[in-house]
Amino acid sequence: MIVEVVVGRRPGVFVRPVNMEEGRRLQRISRTAKDPVRLRRAIVVMMSAQGQSVPDITSLMQVSADYVRDVIHTFNERGFDCAGPKMERGTPQDNQ
């Protein structure tokens, strides 16, 4: 009997597919945000949407892997609400 053991790394964490309007919104936030937290989170989401891995984002942004994963998971669950109440103005339905 042959037993095959596969050793590999965990699958990467990425944001869900971002449509054109969401991509434009992320770009707009990254150009105009005055709040550094909002800016950093938008950049993390944008980089992930462009296929950058968590380790790549952490090294470029100088943030922890846990921070990047948290932002990605929150964006996947709540959309633009991931940066908190200041991410986008308007009703929660507008932010989806």
For the packed helices 36-49 and 54-61, what is the interaxial angle rounded to 10 degrees?
140
Which one-letter DSSP state was computed for residue 15?
P
Angle at the Cα of 89 from the Cα atoms of 72 and 86, rounded to 5 degrees: 55
- pLDDT tens-digit profile, the chain (96 residues): 777 666 555 568 899 999 999 999 999 999 999 999 999 999 999 999 999 999 999 999 999 999 999 999 999 999 887 765 544 434 343 343
